[in-house]
């Protein structure tokens, strides 16, 4: 009998086809995430689940899925998974690192330029027919070349974003919660590991790539935003709760910092009150990995991971490989 798996929301077909070679696949075909009770009801007889970051994978989920032999996250970020709980229950869990690195770094650059040169605000002016002709004092933005780029969390995506700065001759500084040095960035860009405080004080552009953990939640708040340059621009393509969004709205209103480009939000899909009205922001709907190729690669990686788990093999990108070691 084929193992039963649930895919909690439609993903690119290539991933489903892979799963169908070995499993009986049930898919949530509605174009929305499953509610908590729908999720819990649909996993009771499943051996595997391929889910999204909106699905909370915790003790209650595992209790509802007594036959579960593996969970594959369709995302690199895994703050939705209680990994220690999965490990305690000897259930392997996986994520999708690597395949979305460049797409997400590219989007961080799109936001950086869009905010610096006011691309969205000015596009709106053109479309509404309000432009009356060229003027020397009109629509001035911020330079990028030669400005200091601060990377918070120089993991895969932070590193890719930093490496892409090469053509813009930007001094790069970075901070890591672990304090670990990034030899590639130091060799390629002469980048410097600095304290978080120094990064805040020296950066013209700050780009967030740290994972969301209890320690990094609200890393950017009234206090830390105040320590940034008032000309600085903050970019977030990581996780929304890295920023206390109400404090950011105030900082953008008061001129504490100059602008922000956001792809992620503290309470998705909602935004803090006042954010949408601010002209010095560019706001995107969590599309860091949203290219055709990247989403397909995420689907096939997540599917391969789930198939490996169901066969008691080690998935390519397992978050708790220790549960697969012989006990």
The residue from 3, 48, 77, 259 that contacts ligand DGY (CB under 6 A) is 77
Residue 160 as a binder of ligand DGY (CB under 6 A): the answer is: no
d(CA 143, CA 247): 26
Write each residue from 195 to 224 as x if it is in contact with ligand DGY (CB under 6 A), else as -, in one continuous string.
Answer: ------------------------------
Smaller CB separation from ligand DGY, 28 or 289: 289
Please state the closest distance from residue 201 (CB atom) to ligand DGY, in A. Answer: 29
Smaller CB separation from ligand DGY, 258 or 297: 297
The residue from 3, 15, 259, 288 that contacts ligand DGY (CB under 6 A) is 288
Nearest CA-CA partner of 99 in 261, 316, 262? 316
Smaller CB separation from ligand DGY, 3 or 238: 238
Smaller CB separation from ligand DGY, 120 or 290: 290
Helix extents (H) in 75-177: 83-88, 101-116, 119-127, 156-163
Residue 289 as a binder of ligand DGY (CB under 6 A): the answer is: yes
d(CA 152, CA 245): 17
Please state the closest distance from residue 99 (CB atom) to ligand DGY, in A. Answer: 9
Q: Is 194 exposed, middle or buried (0-12, 13-18, 19+ CB in 10 A)?
A: middle
d(CA 162, CA 127): 34
Residues between 47 and 76 that touch ligand DGY (CB under 6 A): 53, 75-76
Please state the closest distance from residue 285 (CB atom) to ligand DGY, in A. Answer: 11
Note if 327 is an active site residue: no
Tokens found for residue 296: 């397909």
Q: Of 286, 313, 314, 316, which is the active-site residue? A: 286
Note if 239 is an active site residue: yes
Helix extents (H) in 164-240: 183-189, 196-202, 222-226
Write each residue from 240 to 279 as x if it is in contact with ligand DGY (CB under 6 A), else as -, in one continuous string.
Answer: ----------------------------------------
Smaller CB separation from ligand DGY, 53 or 172: 53
Tokens found for residue 4: 């039963």
d(CA 32, CA 293): 22
Cβ partners under 8 Å of residue 92, min gap 6: 69, 70, 71, 86, 309, 315, 318, 319, 320, 321, 323, 324
Please state the closest distance from residue 269 (CB atom) to ligand DGY, in A. Answer: 13
Kind and range of the H or E run holding 152: strand 149-152
Q: Of 69, 209, 239, 295, which is the active-site residue? A: 239
Note if 198 is an active site residue: no
Torsion over CA: 242, 95, 13, 16 (sign): negative
Smaller CB separation from ligand DGY, 105 or 257: 105
d(CA 232, CA 149): 10
Q: Of 85, 268, 313, 316, which is the active-site residue? A: 268
The residue from 65, 99, 100, 142 that contacts ligand DGY (CB under 6 A) is 100
- Show which residues are catalytic: 239, 268, 286
Q: Which residues bind ligand DGY (CB under 6 A)?
A: 53, 75-77, 100, 288-289
């Amino acid at each position: 009998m084929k193992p039963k798996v649930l895919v909690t929301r439609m993903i690119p077909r290539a991933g489903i086809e892979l799963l169908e070679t070995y499993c009986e696949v049930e898919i949530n075909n509605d174009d929305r995430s499953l509610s908590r009770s729908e999720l819990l009801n649909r996993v009771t007889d499943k051996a595997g689940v391929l889910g999204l970051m909106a699905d909370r994978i915790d003790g209650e989920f595992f209790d509802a899925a007594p036959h579960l032999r593996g969970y594959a996250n369709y995302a690199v970020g895994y703050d939705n998974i209680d990994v220690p709980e999965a490990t305690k229950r000897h259930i392997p869990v996986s994520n999708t690192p690597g395949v979305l690195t460049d797409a997400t770094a590219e989007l961080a650059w799109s936001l950086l330029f869009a905010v610096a040169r006011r691309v969205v605000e000015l596009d709106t002016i053109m479309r509404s027919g309000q432009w009356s002709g060229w003027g020397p004092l009109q629509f001035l933005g911020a330079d990028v070349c030669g400005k200091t780029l601060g990377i918070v969390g120089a993991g895969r995506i932070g590193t890719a974003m930093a490496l892409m700065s090469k053509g813009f001759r930007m001094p790069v500084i970075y901070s890591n919660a672990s304090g670990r040095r990034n030899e590639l960035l130091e060799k390629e860009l002469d980048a410097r590991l600095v304290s978080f405080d120094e990064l805040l004080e020296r950066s013209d552009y700050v780009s967030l790539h740290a994972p969301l953990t209890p320690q990094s939640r609200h890393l950017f708040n009234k206090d830390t935003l105040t320590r940034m340059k008032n000309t600085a621009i903050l970019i977030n393509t990581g996780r929304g709760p890295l920023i206390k969004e109400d404090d950011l709205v105030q900082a953008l209103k008061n001129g504490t910092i100059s602008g922000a480009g956001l792809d992620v939000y503290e309470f998705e899909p909602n935004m803090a009150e006042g954010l949408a009205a601010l002209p010095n922001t560019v706001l995107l709907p969590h599309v860091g990995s949203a290219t055709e190729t990247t989403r397909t690669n995420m689907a096939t990686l997540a599917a391969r991971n789930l198939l490996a788990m169901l066969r008691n093999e080690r998935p390519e990108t397992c978050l708790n490989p220790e549960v697969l070691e012989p006990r």
